[in-house]
Every structure is written in structure tokens, then in C-alpha cells.
């Protein structure tokens, strides 16, 4: 297994990896608004996985849905390396990775460029003082609105009861369209939505191994 430094060095050579950091804000990001033409070379829908970690969900979804494009976003380059390497090894043309903080996400995508968002096992930020850091806080949802298409879907998978309840409260208070939710996905998963439990992140495997219930919410940011 390569060292962290070796992963970072190799990541710089991966054509399926991009990065956007604070110092790039003044010069902009040439991929913004151009993901389909500059990278994917098709007109298929683009799906984001925010906080993708090692990219298990990004890779898993891309393998199941060749007619969609997937971009995994995470700040940790040594994690992204795993998914990016797998995508290259398997010649997956519908996968890309973006190394960036979610705080800068509006700098990376243009209005109506994204069709769907997955938020998979994010840090629940359980302290009340860190509520604004939760990826389903209205601050973040308003950022997503800037590039998610009308009627675009948002998925949340989490083991955290507090984040699950918090997100449902945000949806209710902001009168967002709530499509479906469950506090026990493995018990209540619809047969036609098997991909919800067939693809597992590292953390999901860890949590289910401890007997914890997985929560899921599907909603929209607008009509």
C-alpha cells in the first residue's frame, strides 16, 4: 500500500481527479459549468456524492448506472485516491473526483449543472455549537440550490439519530418536498430500491456491524 505522500503524488497525475481550494477562489475553476463538455463528454445527468471518503458509493452507483455521471467530493486526498485508483483500473469513464471543502462547492458547479446529490454518512456534528457545519443545515442546502436542477433529488444516509431528526426538522421548517424517509433502512427498504442497501461505505459496514440502524431521507430543495 502506498504511503500518504505517494498517494498525494500519484493523485496529481490522475486525469479523473480535480481540486479546488481557498487559494483558487480568486482565479476561478475552469470545470465549473463545463463538467459534461470538458470531462465526461456526454449529456448524461451528473450526480454528486458529498463527503465521499474512499468513494465506495460513487464507484458503486457508477457501476450500476452507466447512463449517469458521478463526482465524489471530499477534502481528504488520501481517501479520494482509493476510489480514483479503482475507477482508473476499471476504465470507468463516468466517474470523477473533486478534492475540495464542501464550503467551496458553489465555486465548482454552475446553476442547473447537477441532477442529484448524495450525502453519505457525513460527520453529524452533534454539538449544538456546530449545527451550522451539518451538511443538511439550511446554509448548505442554500448552497446546493445554486447548482442543483429544479426537482433534483437529495439523499441522506446516516447512522446518526440526531442528524436524521435535525434534517427532518429542517425539511419541515423550510417546507421542502419530503419524498420518503425511514429510521431503519435495512428493515424498510423498498424492493425496487435495493441499491440503497447493496452499496455500503466503510462507515456503513462499521455501523451495521455494531447493530446500529441506518437512517435514510429522500427530499427535494424545490419543485
Whether 123 is a known active-site residue: answer: yes
Answer for the pair 114, 46: CB distance below 8 angstroms, yes or no: yes
* Model confidence pLDDT, tens digit, residues 117-154: 999 999 999 898 999 999 999 999 999 999 999 999 99
Catalytic residue among 74, 103, 115, 123: 123
Describe the crossing of helices 56-64 and 77-89 by its angle, rounded to 10 degrees. Answer: 30
Domain 4-220 belongs in CATH node 3.40.50.150: yes
Straight-line distance from the first to the last Cα atom of the chain, in angstroms, rounded to the nearest whole number: 46
Q: Domain spans of the chain?
A: 4-220
* Model confidence pLDDT, tens digit, residues 5-37: 888 888 889 999 999 998 888 889 999 999 999
In this prediction, residue 179 carries a pLDDT of 96
Interatomic CA distance for residues 137 and 163, integer angstroms: 10
Interatomic CA distance for residues 177 and 60, integer angstroms: 27
Amino acid at each position: 500500500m502506498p504511503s500518504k505522500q505517494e498517494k498525494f503524488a500519484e493523485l496529481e497525475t490522475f486525469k479523473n481527479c480535480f481540486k479546488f481550494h481557498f487559494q483558487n477562489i480568486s482565479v476561478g475553476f475552469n470545470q465549473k459549468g463545463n463538467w459534461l463538455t470538458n470531462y465526461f463528454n456526454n449529456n448524461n445527468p451528473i450526480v454528486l456524492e458529498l463527503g465521499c471518503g474512499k468513494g465506495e458509493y460513487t464507484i458503486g452507483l457508477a457501476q450500476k448506472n452507466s447512463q449517469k455521471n458521478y463526482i465524489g467530493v471530499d477534502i481528504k486526498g488520501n481517501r479520494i485516491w482509493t476510489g480514483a485508483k479503482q475507477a482508473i483500473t476499471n476504465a470507468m469513464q463516468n466517474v470523477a473526483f473533486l478534492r475540495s471543502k464542501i464550503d467551496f462547492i458553489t465555486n465548482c458547479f454552475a446553476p442547473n449543472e447537477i441532477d442529484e446529490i448524495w450525502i453519505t454518512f457525513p460527520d453529524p456534528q452533534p454539538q449544538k455549537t456546530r449545527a451550522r457545519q451539518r451538511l443538511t443545515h439550511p446554509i448548505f442546502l442554500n448552497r446546493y440550490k445554486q447548482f442543483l436542477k429544479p426537482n433534483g433529488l437529495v439523499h441522506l444516509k446516516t447512522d446518526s439519530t440526531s442528524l436524521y431528526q435535525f434534517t427532518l426538522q429542517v425539511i419541515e421548517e423550510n417546507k421542502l418536498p419530503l419524498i420518503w424517509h425511514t429510521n431503519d433502512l435495512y428493515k424498510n427498504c423498498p424492493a425496487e430500491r435495493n441499491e440503497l442497501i447493496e452499496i455500503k461505505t466503510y462507515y456503513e459496514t462499521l455501523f451495521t456491524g455494531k447493530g446500529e440502524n441506518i437512517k435514510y431521507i429522500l427530499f427535494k430543495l424545490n419543485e
